[in-house]
Amino acid sequence: MKVITISSFKGGTAKTSNSLHLASALTKFHKKKVLLIDFDSQANLTAGLGFNPDQFDSLAPVLQGEKKLASVIQKTSVKNLDLVPADSFLERIEVTGNLAGDRYSHERLKKVLQEVKYDYVIIDTPPSLCWLTESAMIAADECVLAATPEFYSVKGLERLKLFMEQINKRHPFKVSGIVLSFWNGRGKSNSAFVDLIETIFPGKIFQTNIRRDISVSDASIQGKPVFETSPDSRAATDYRKLTKELLKRI
C-alpha cells in the first residue's frame, strides 16, 4: 500500500482537485483500489464527492481511539474509490481529548492506516503547516505538492520545503513532484516562476500542467470527478496524463 499526501502552503492551488482526480484516475484507468482521506476541516473534498460533512464522522474519533478506521470509510459513486470524510472536529484536534496529552500524537495516523488495505491512500491536507499536515506527511511514502504560477504560491513552496525537511529527518518520505495548476500556456511570467521553483525543488515539476477549466467546478457541484461529467474536457485529459506521470515516478 502506497500512501501519498497532497500538500500546499497556500489556498487556491487546486490541491483538493488534484487529490480527487489523481485518486479517481487511478481507479478508473489503472484499476487500483484507492482510499481518499479528507484531512482538512474545510471538507471541500468531502463536498466535492457529494457528501454532507455534517452527516458523517471524520478521522477525529478514530485518532482519539474511539472508533476503528473501517467504521468511518464511505463508498463513493466511483467504483473502487472510498472516502474518509472531513468535519469541523478536525480543527485543533491535537489539543482535545487524549491527543492533548500524547507527545507522539502526530504519529497516530500512520499507525491507524495499518488497519486497512488499499493499493493507494491519498490524503488531502489543509493549506497550512499544522498538526494535520505534519501527521499526513509522517504517514506518507510520497508527497505531491500543489502550486500555481503565482508569486505567493511559489514563495509558499520555500516555507513548505523547510517544514518538510524537518519531518523528513525523523520520518523519511519522498517528494514525487510538483503540480502546476490553473496553467495558462501564454502566461508572460511562466518561465520565471518555473525557474524559481526549480531552484527550490530541482527536477520535481511534473511535465503535465493542469490547465484552467470550468468543467472542474461544474463537476464538483455535481459531486463527481470530471471524468464522469466532462470526460473529453481539458482537465480530464490533463489529469489522465498527470496520473500516468505520477505512476512512473513512484
Give 54-101 pLDDT, tens digit per residue: 899 999 999 999 999 999 999 999 999 999 999 988 988 998 888 888
The amino acid at 75: K
Handedness of CA 40, 43, 48, 51 (dihedral sign): positive
pLDDT of amino acid 113: 97
Between helix 234-249 and helix 214-222 the angle, nearest 10°, is: 90
CB 250 within 8 A of CB 144: no
pLDDT (average), residues 161-168: 95
Measure the N-to-C terminal CA separation of the chain; round to a whole number of Å: 12
pLDDT band at 12 (very low <50, low <70, confident <90, very high): confident
Residue 185 has pLDDT above 80, yes or no: no
Distance CA 82, CA 186 (A): 38
Q: For residues 35 and 133, what is the distance between their CA atoms, to the nearest angstrom? A: 17
Give the pLDDT score at 97. 86
Q: Within a 13 Å sphere around the CA of 41, how many CA atoms are in the beta-carbon half?
A: 12
pLDDT value of residue 121: 98
Task: Check residue 150 and give its pLDDT.
Answer: 85
pLDDT band at 153 (very low <50, low <70, confident <90, very high): confident
pLDDT digits (tens, 9 = 90+) for 91-119: 889 988 888 888 899 999 999 999 999 99
Report the predicted TM-score, pTM, of the whole model to 2 decimal places.
Answer: 0.95
Provide the residue type at 91 as one letter: E
pLDDT computed for residue 21 by the predictor: 97
- Check whether 11 has a pLDDT greater than 90: no
User: How many contiguous H segments (helices) and E segments (strands) does the chain have?
Assistant: 10, 8
The pLDDT value given to residue 50? 92
Q: Which domains are delineated in the chain?
A: 2-249 (3.40.50.300)
When the pLDDT of each residue in the chain is averaged and rounded to a whole number, the result is 93
C-alpha cell of residue 153: 504560491
Which residue(s) pair with 181 in the sheet? 210
The whole-number pLDDT of residue 17 equals 95
212-241 as b/e: b if 16+ CB within 10 A: ebebbeebbeebbbbbebbeebbbbbbbbb
Q: CB–CB of 38/6 below 8 Å?
A: no
